[in-house]
Amino acid sequence: MTDDATPSTAPAWHVLGTGSMACLWAASLAASGHEVSLIARDRSRHAAYHGITLESAAGGEHFEPALETRESATPIAQLLVCTKAYDALDALAGIAHRLAPEAAVVLLQNGMGFHDEALSLVGGARLFCALSTEGAWCPAPFHVRHAGRGVTLLGRYPRGPREDAQALARALPTRRLEVRPVDDIEHEMWRKLAVNCTINALTAVYGCPNGALLEPGDPGRDFAAVCFETAAVLDALGQHIIAAELPAAATEVARRTAANRSSMLQDVQARRRTEIDYINGFLCRRAEAADFPCHFNRVLCRRIRALEQGYLSR
Ligand code: NAP
């Protein structure tokens, strides 16, 4: 049973990765009648694969997208890259030779700093970026919980006509996952990065929920300092509007998500590698190239890397 009447001639989707977002999107694409295949890192996960279980407010559902590895020879017409930021380029490089000349490639990662390299990897294919506030996690392999409904912004990278994103959005499971085409996805990426720089690493360092950043005490004092510095760096980098809006925008996100644990705090608590190099790390690299000080963000990067080293090196 599927949600939409997707024409059987519609190009198939390939979803790169087998984690939370990959399973959420692959199951939702399958539910919408699309032909969809997951691309796993290697063959070791094939044995355990019997389809995807998707749990949501509507209950549990089971879907059976195909599962392949990068060695498969099938050409790829539509690709959704659902790895972490630090794996995206390697994963894309491994299957770039399979992209059809007019393929659409969508990068769905938090963070910045790898998109221009991705552009050169995809050759003649069209590159898009997606920024998602959907919440999903996997209690077991190929079993995904859709924990929070959100919105996914989709735009051509580098900036291109909104019609391109609108056309691609129609090929996504929009009845299940809200997709909003935008003109300038890079602007949205900077906006999200700015807020993430002020909340994610700080909550991971203090081991606190987002709302603690608004209370009196050390996290609140550091939050004010990191907001001030991040806004100054963004201003120096020419992102004037985002810089001006940042203190209010970050405060509003911390207030609205007061009880939540940021994704970086969740990564640290689960002893996983974080995406720090593509969030505060990216901002520091840009600041350094512009010869602008970025002391507080640099300290946050060091603190997170020290935490990671404590558990990843064991
Ligand atoms: P995840 O659960 O850790 O999944 C990442 C997947 O990428 C893993 O299955 C990993 O495989 C796979 N992968 C890595 N290298 C690969 C390769 N070369 N070939 C094939 N697969 C490869 O991460 P996630 O939660 O889905 O997050 C993906 C991105 O979405 C992140 O940037 C995250 O910040 C963003 N995001 C997530 C959420 C959410 O709620 N989960 C919400 C918004 C945005 P292995 O298991 O073999 O390593």
Q: Where are the domains of the chain?
A: 13-183, 188-312
- The reported pLDDT for the residue numbered 42 is 85
CA distance 170 to 245: 32
- b/e 176-211 (16+ beta carbons within 10 angstroms → b): bbbbbbbeebbebbbbbbbbbbbbbbbbbbbebbbb
Pocket test for ligand 1, best of 16, 52, 84, 142 (most atoms within 8 A of CB): 84
Q: What class has domain 13-183?
A: alpha beta
pLDDT digits (tens, 9 = 90+) for 184-236: 999 999 999 999 999 999 999 999 999 999 999 999 999 999 999 999 999 99
Using CB distances shorter than 6 Å, the residues near ligand 1 are 16-22, 39-41, 82-85, 87, 90-91, 94, 108-110, 132, 134-137, 263, 275
For residues 166 and 202, give the distance between their C-alpha atoms in angstroms, rounded to a whole number: 36
Q: Are 247 and 231 in contact, with CB atoms under 8 Å apart?
A: yes
What superfamily in CATH does domain 188-312 come from? Answer: N-(1-d-carboxylethyl)-l-norvaline Dehydrogenase; domain 2 (1.10.1040.10)
**Ligand 1 centroid – CA 146 distance (Å):** 15
Mean pLDDT of the chain: 95
Which pLDDT value is given to residue 27? 98
Q: How large is the average pLDDT for residues 11-16? A: 97
Determine which residue's CA is closest to atom 1 belonging to ligand 1.
19
In percent, how much of the chain has pLDDT > 70?
97
Q: How far is the CA of 236 from the centre of ligand 1 (A)?
A: 32
Instruction: Please indicate, yes or no, whether the overall pTM of this predicted structure exceeds 0.95.
Output: yes
Q: Closest ligand 1 atom to the C-alpha of 90?
A: 18
Cα–Cα distance for residue pair 259/172, rounded to 1 Å: 31
Name the burial class of residue 289, with classes exposed (0-12), middle (13-18) and buried (19+) by CB atoms within 10 angstroms of its CB: exposed
> Residue 65: CB partners within 8 Å, gap ≥ 6?
15, 26, 27, 29, 30, 36, 37, 38, 51, 52
101 upstream amide cis, omega within 30 of 0: no
CA of 187 to the centre of ligand 1 (A): 23
CB 229 within 8 A of CB 287: no
* Ligand 1 atom at minimal distance to the Cα of residue 272: 3
Taking only the tens place, the pLDDT of each residue in 85-126 is 999 999 999 999 999 999 999 999 999 999 999 999 999 999
Pocket test for ligand 1, best of 14, 16, 20, 49 (most atoms within 8 A of CB): 20
Residue located nearest, by CA, to atom 10 of ligand 1: 17
Q: What's the pLDDT band for 43 if we cut at 50, 70, 90?
A: confident
Q: Which of 192, 262, 264, 300 is catalytic?
A: 192
21 C-alpha vs ligand 1 centroid, how far in Å?
6
**Would the CATH topology of 13-183 be identical to that of 188-312?**
no
192 is known as an active-site residue: yes
pLDDT score, position 309? 97
C-alpha distances (whole Å) from 121 to each of 16, 73, 114, 211, 279 are: 15, 18, 11, 40, 22
| Structure confidence at residue 115 (pLDDT) | 98
Note whether 85 and 19 are within 8 A (CB). no
Region class of 142: left (phi > 0), else alpha (psi between -120 and 50), else beta: left
Q: Which of 249, 255, 246, 262 is nearest to 200 (CA)?
A: 262
> Which has more confidence, 42 or 275?
275
- How many CB atoms sit inside 10 A of residue 39's CB? 28
For 12-31, give one letter per residue: b (16+ CB within 10 A) or e: bbbbbbbbbbbbbbbbbbbb
Split at pLDDT 50, 70, 90, the class of 10 is confident
User: CB neighbours of 294 closer than 8 A, spacing ≥ 6?
Assistant: 229, 233, 283, 284, 287, 288
Q: 81 CA distance to ligand 1 centroid (A)?
A: 9
Q: Is the pLDDT of residue 160 over 90?
A: no
Ligand 1 atom nearest to CA at 21: 26
Q: For residue 60, give both structure tokens.
A: 């549990």
pLDDT digits (tens, 9 = 90+) for 149-158: 999 999 999 9
- Identify the bridge partners of residue 69 per DSSP, sorted by sequence position: 40
Strand order, beta sheet including 135-140: 59-63, 52-56, 143-148, 135-140
pLDDT at 50 over 90: yes
Cβ neighbours of residue 267 closer than 8 Å, sequence gap 6 or more? 204, 273, 274, 275
Give the nearest ligand 1 atom to 135 CA. 40
Residue 252 corresponds to which amino acid? E
